[in-house]
Structure 1
Amino acid sequence: MVRGEGFEAIANRLCLRAEELAPGAICTIVGVNGEGRLKAVASPSLPTSYGEAITGLEIGPSVGSCGTAAYLGEPVEVDDISTSPLWAPYKDLVLPLGLQACWSFPIKTSDGRVAAAFGFYFKDKRGPTVFERSIVNTCVHLCSIAIEHALTQKRNHALAYYDQLTGLPNRRSFDDMMFDRIVSMDPAFGLLVVDIDNLKIANDTMGHVVGDSLIQEVAARLSQIVPNGASRIGGDEFAVLIDGCRSHAELAAAADRIVEAMKTTFDCAGYTLTPQITMGGVVYEIDGVDPDLLRQNADFAIYHAKSVNRGGYALFKRDMRTSIATRMSTIRTVGEALNEERVVPFYQPLITLSDGTIHGFEALARIKMDNGAIVSAGQFQAALSDPSIAFRLTDQMLRHIARDMRGWMEGGFNVGHVGINLSTADFHRGDVEQRLLAAFEPAGVPLDRIVVEVTEGVFMDSTDDKVVHVIESLRRKGITVALDDFGTGFASLTHLIRFPVDCIKVDKSFVDRMLTDHPSQLVVELLVDLSRKLHMHTVAEGIETQAQAGWLKALGCNTGQGYYFGRPVDVEATTKLMREWQPGFPQAASLAAKKKRA
């Protein structure tokens, strides 16, 4: 054991030494597996056919001396094999070898479980002598120590190389498995990196028991589709090696099988869940031959999949390295800005078209750079595909907006409404309502002054109407809900009926073309008319000319927004704008006249 020999080598040594001390005795040691079946461990003086014959036998009350001793957990002494009922089915196995008697002693672990049996065979019909009994007692004790040592090694190996939750190989094992494939005679394999989508949300909303069950379920399905190929390499991350894969087409076929395997629901702790995963894949030689490069390229592929095909997969393409690197750089930039509180709201006015008064504002995220430059949301939009960044950005915006609105109210300004953009990431955690309340209630800002702006994509990303239920709850608290960028993406007129919203914002792309493109004009007319009949408010986005504003006013559109009325500006400039525009301030009349002349 000190030299690190395995249990079989140690058992062999014990048998040979016992036979030296007890001439005429033949020693054997058999193991007992977790299913209660025998496995030949050491029988150095018997032919290999003996070990092959007993391996796999199930222990029981009449399974020779060793099988019965293991079953009963106590010594079994047979002084005549030929007449013993314990040996009736097995005597032809040992009698031809000249073995006439057998004494077996169970070998137990520290917790009392029978792990093996020590057997002494004799070539004449007799029982063991007192000296032979002492030899067996000593050998059994030594075997117990050796077994405990082997079990400890096995446990340590499992801890080092296998994931304890799923039983799959861990990252260390995966690295070894990929290296073995690369150095083989004819390496041919693909690698899929698999992420469980929204695992943190499952843990936070349903508990870690459900989250762990989700991990185990995904692991089991991966193992079923790709036996001996799946490893768990992170909290929500798996790696799957596809042997024999030489092309992207073959890898895509394997990915399709995995996606299909995840579509079945399962029940856990009162919840019915459908595992959702996103994958990125590479093929050895096509996408790299170095293990680190292959893994990195697979990560690039999965980052790409999460941004364009969440719930599906993407296979690596070389241009991903550039685009993902740019995205990761943007994420770092926004993350640093959030850490330093440099993400601030700029406010763009929404104007009532019928009388030219300020109806409210939309708060738009901006980053103040170290050099004083202001970066608009369009320039860091890629970073918002990271749910953590999107979530943190919303929280920082909410704090600033609540503070600004409190200041305006104390200054006597009629703020109207302020629109706040929320993303899919904000709804995934299920605490949107609590976050809004936590931001605005302490500041004393009435919730009926808040407009939550969401795109159709936010609704469509929710397969269980969770977003719909949250929106309905917000509306019951007095918050107005606007459907932003309507007419793009997943646009459908049925969404106006299905989604619980109070306002639609006609996308800038239609407003840009409505005076020159007849179909765009018809779309705007239809939306304004339909929203009026559905008792919804209409906002036209992207108004840049007086002609656009005039045509929309004549059409009956309620509110306009765009550079014609004002660009997004910081809180100080917005305060100045309200002071000039607000009825009751002397600057209001002259500013309105300027707008009219424009």
Structure 2
Amino acid sequence: MNVLAHFQQTILEMIARGRSAEEVADSICRHAECAAEGVMCSLILVDRSGRLHPLAGPSLPAHYSAAIDGMAAGPAAGSCGTAAFLRKPIAVTDISTDPRWVDFRALAEPLGIRACWSSPILHSDGRVLGTFAFYYSESRGPSEQEERLVAACVDLCSILLERDEVRAENHKLAYFDVLTKLGNRANFNRTLDAACGAGSGAIGLLFVDVDRLKRVNDTFGHGAGDDMIREVGRRIARSAWPGKAFRVGGDEFAVLIVGESADAEAPLAAERILASMREPALCGAHVLEPGVTCGGATSKAANACDTAKLRRNADLALYHAKEITRGGFVLHGDELASTIAKRFRALQTVTSALAEDRMEAHYQPVVRLDTQEIIGLEALCRIRTRDGEILAAGSFAEAMLDLSIGSLVTDRMLSQVARDVRHWLDQGIALQHVGVNVSMADFQRGDLRERISAAFARHQAPLKHVILEVTESVYMEGSDRKVVRTIEELRAEGLLVALDDFGTGYASLTHLLTFPVDIIKIDKSFVDRMAAGNAGEVIVKALLDMAKGLRIRIVAEGVESDEQSAQLQRLGCSLAQGYLFGRAADRDATTEALLHFGQKPAAPLGGATGSFAA
């Protein structure tokens, strides 16, 4: 085997074994310098913007390579820059007189370089990947032997650089998100593990969730949603340390903070991220305001860092933030840990009650203020402890935030309400309606209509006796029309819909034009502030007048005194519920109340003051 063939085989074996581009390029240059006595050799990369970046030049001083790094290829950019620009070999036999070297002569001549011959390295698709050059200490061009040697070197360089480009692309696909160009989940996992293993001080972790991305996708299209993700990613990256922002899910980002100041820096980074979202963004043809919610956690020392615990704490903080301060930031700490423990206990309480059939429907009466007759009920969830104590919903409200638990509780309540409605109808009680509370979890499952219909069908109870009670927050979260569509379907089957706790959330009166509502239940907070002439009385009166015009019924909640009852009547409110008329009670006690105080069948059920029907 001749020397050239042996050289080619050696380089190809290095490439096949996965040696780095720097190592292989250095070997090519050193072999070429040995084969062509008296020359210096260089291999220069050319990026996609046409700029030069030295990869190997074992005999050239570092300051020479540094001087040409980032230089643009062009028709007067020395031998290498010109060869890359023209995509053909350039042989300059006398640097001192050649105009292409005017700007670089002072760099080359002190090194004894008198001539330079550079050949472009081309990709199989024709793109220029780099240049391979010989530098001479005398004014001359290449010999025939050197031409054969350089031809072989250029072929080897082409194979090397194409392989390296593929490896770089595969690495990018494996570790970087295509949409945002940020590191992906695999990159995040690797970076977090490396930071914990390096013992580099404290570590902070932020999880950032894009608010209501699904609504953007459904309303404006996935193109707008992608633009939103890209813009949010850019803003998060600008707010984070370089290389420490990642896209780890469809609508979730992560930010790492490493160093002794991570404890203090984590909240500051979250503040910067939230502040960066205040400017509107162009998403497709729409100007939208991006919104994010942040949760974070810190580990005091990287060498004692438990990555699983750090992730879990940051995730819990994000989950908590989305529930209590959407658009804000929560940092995991002792207080949050206490809240989580409280929720865990609530979950245990509810799951055991469901398993042991200790969950009950209790009923609070809704009355006509003029006659004090019971015209309807609201079903309220109660748990009977193993000791017989009755727990109100407030004691296990934390558990209801869990979507699966919330749906299970709703199913149990629907079954019991349907059973009790059938019981009362069989006794000849003129029951009008029973309100059943439903949550966003019930709508998100997408089968609420079927679940209600199935529960009432099992007990042969007519659906016309059901009022769905939905809070403002459900309406706000459901503006992607899933809630609206479901409610419209249920109303078509005879159900009524009540907007519960009106005035406690963020719904505006304009929502009453878009959401199907039959009844508004004024929150207790307005009733409590109803002293004559103050704002509470004015608001209640305005709501009553508005509801009358819209043919929507009003029920005042939380009525606890005769004075409040009388004042509501004077303002024109005809229906109310509260401790004044009775606390929530089990089926047997409610049956007695209905027998004694229920609206009699002879009463006009469609009357203006005695019915939920408008």
Structures share a fold, TM > 0.5?
Answer: yes
Alignment partner of 1:26: what SS? strand
Equivalent residue number for residue 324 of structure 2: 308
Following superposition, the deviation at residue 218 of structure 1 comes to 1.6
1:82-118 per-position Cα deviation (integer Å, ceiling 9, x unaligned): 4434334333433443434333222123433211111
Equivalent residue number for residue 192 of structure 1: 206
Alignment partner of 1:319: what SS? helix
- The residue type paired with residue 419 of structure 1 is G
Alignment partner of 1:195: what SS? strand
Equivalent residue number for residue 154 of structure 2: 140
Q: Could you tell me whether the CA contact under 8 Å between 1:504 and 1:531 is conserved in 2?
A: no
1:313-367 per-position Cα deviation (integer Å, ceiling 9, x unaligned): 1233313213213325645876899999998866554333444555233344567
Equivalent residue number for residue 361 of structure 1: 377
Following superposition, the deviation at residue 151 of structure 1 comes to 2.4
Q: Could you tell me whether the CA contact under 8 Å between 1:452 and 1:480 is conserved in 2?
A: yes
Question: Which has the larger displacement, 572-581 or 152-161?
Answer: 572-581
Residue 250 (structure 2) aligned to one of 225, 235, 260: 235
In structure 2, distance between residues paired with 1:25 and 1:125 = 12
Equivalent residue number for residue 505 of structure 1: 521
Question: Which has the larger displacement, 282-291 or 543-552?
Answer: 543-552
Q: Which runs of 5+ in 1 are unaligned?
A: 586-598
Cα RMSD of the aligned pairs, angstroms, is 5.2
Residue 263 (structure 1) aligned to one of 273, 278, 281: 278
Judged with a 3 Å threshold, the aligned counterparts in structure 2 of structure 1 residues 339 and 84 are, in CA distance, closer, same or farther, namely farther
Equivalent residue number for residue 588 of structure 1: none
Q: Could you tell me whether the CA contact under 8 Å between 2:375 and 2:598 is conserved in 1?
A: no
Equivalent residue number for residue 103 of structure 1: 117
Judged with a 3 Å threshold, the aligned counterparts in structure 2 of structure 1 residues 279 and 532 are, in CA distance, closer, same or farther, namely closer
In structure 2, distance between residues paired with 1:264 and 1:425 = 31
1:500-552 per-position Cα deviation (integer Å, ceiling 9, x unaligned): 666443555788x89xxx95998997777555544364434456899998997
In structure 1, distance between residues paired with 2:102 and 2:537 = 96
In structure 1, distance between residues paired with 2:186 and 2:67 = 37
In structure 1, distance between residues paired with 2:381 and 2:375 = 20
1:280-316 per-position Cα deviation (integer Å, ceiling 9, x unaligned): 2345539995243444433343333233222111233
In structure 1, distance between residues paired with 2:128 and 2:360 = 69
In structure 2, distance between residues paired with 1:567 and 1:394 = 18
Pairing 1:23–2:37 present: yes
Following superposition, the deviation at residue 51 of structure 1 comes to 1.3
Judged with a 3 Å threshold, the aligned counterparts in structure 2 of structure 1 residues 476 and 463 are, in CA distance, closer, same or farther, namely closer
In structure 2, distance between residues paired with 1:220 and 1:101 = 47
In structure 2, distance between residues paired with 1:570 and 1:86 = 98
Pairing 1:378–2:407 present: no
Matches within 5 A, 1:88-487: 88-175=102-189, 177-178=191-192, 187=201, 190-228=204-242, 229-242=244-257, 246=261, 251-285=266-300, 290-292=305-307, 293-328=309-344, 330=346, 348-355=364-371, 357-365=373-381, 377-386=393-402, 388-389=403-404, 392=407, 396=411, 416-423=432-439, 451-455=467-471, 482-485=498-501
- The residue type paired with residue 299 of structure 1 is D
Judged with a 3 Å threshold, the aligned counterparts in structure 2 of structure 1 residues 584 and 247 are, in CA distance, closer, same or farther, namely same
In structure 2, distance between residues paired with 1:10 and 1:340 = 71
Equivalent residue number for residue 70 of structure 2: 56
In structure 2, distance between residues paired with 1:96 and 1:250 = 50
In structure 1, distance between residues paired with 2:334 and 2:282 = 40
In structure 2, distance between residues paired with 1:338 and 1:113 = 68
Q: Could you tell me whether the CA contact under 8 Å between 1:343 and 1:393 is conserved in 2?
A: no
Q: Please, what TM-score do these two structures have when normalized by structure 1?
A: 0.75
In structure 1, distance between residues paired with 2:158 and 2:352 = 59
In structure 2, distance between residues paired with 1:539 and 1:575 = 23
Equivalent residue number for residue 41 of structure 1: 55
Question: Which has the larger displacement, 528-537 or 305-314?
Answer: 528-537
- The residue type paired with residue 50 of structure 1 is Y
Judged with a 3 Å threshold, the aligned counterparts in structure 2 of structure 1 residues 43 and 288 are, in CA distance, closer, same or farther, namely closer
Following superposition, the deviation at residue 407 of structure 1 comes to 6.6
- The residue type paired with residue 62 of structure 1 is A
In structure 1, distance between residues paired with 2:86 and 2:108 = 22
Question: Which has the larger displacement, 520-529 or 186-195?
Answer: 520-529
Equivalent residue number for residue 12 of structure 2: none
In structure 1, distance between residues paired with 2:351 and 2:126 = 56
Question: Which has the larger displacement, 187-196 or 446-455?
Answer: 446-455
Residue 90 (structure 2) aligned to one of 56, 76, 99: 76
Residue 12 (structure 1) aligned to one of 20, 26, 29: 26
Q: Could you tell me whether the CA contact under 8 Å between 1:344 and 1:367 is conserved in 2?
A: yes
Equivalent residue pairs, number: 573
Following superposition, the deviation at residue 11 of structure 1 comes to 0.8
Q: Which runs of 5+ in 2 are unaligned?
A: 1-14, 603-614
Alignment partner of 1:380: what SS? helix
Q: Could you tell me whether the CA contact under 8 Å between 1:305 and 1:314 is conserved in 2?
A: yes
In structure 2, distance between residues paired with 1:171 and 1:537 = 51
Judged with a 3 Å threshold, the aligned counterparts in structure 2 of structure 1 residues 395 and 456 are, in CA distance, closer, same or farther, namely closer
Q: Could you tell me whether the CA contact under 8 Å between 2:198 and 2:303 is conserved in 1?
A: no
Question: Which has the larger displacement, 319-328 or 242-251?
Answer: 242-251
Following superposition, the deviation at residue 268 of structure 1 comes to 1.6
Q: Could you tell me whether the CA contact under 8 Å between 2:297 and 2:313 is conserved in 1?
A: yes
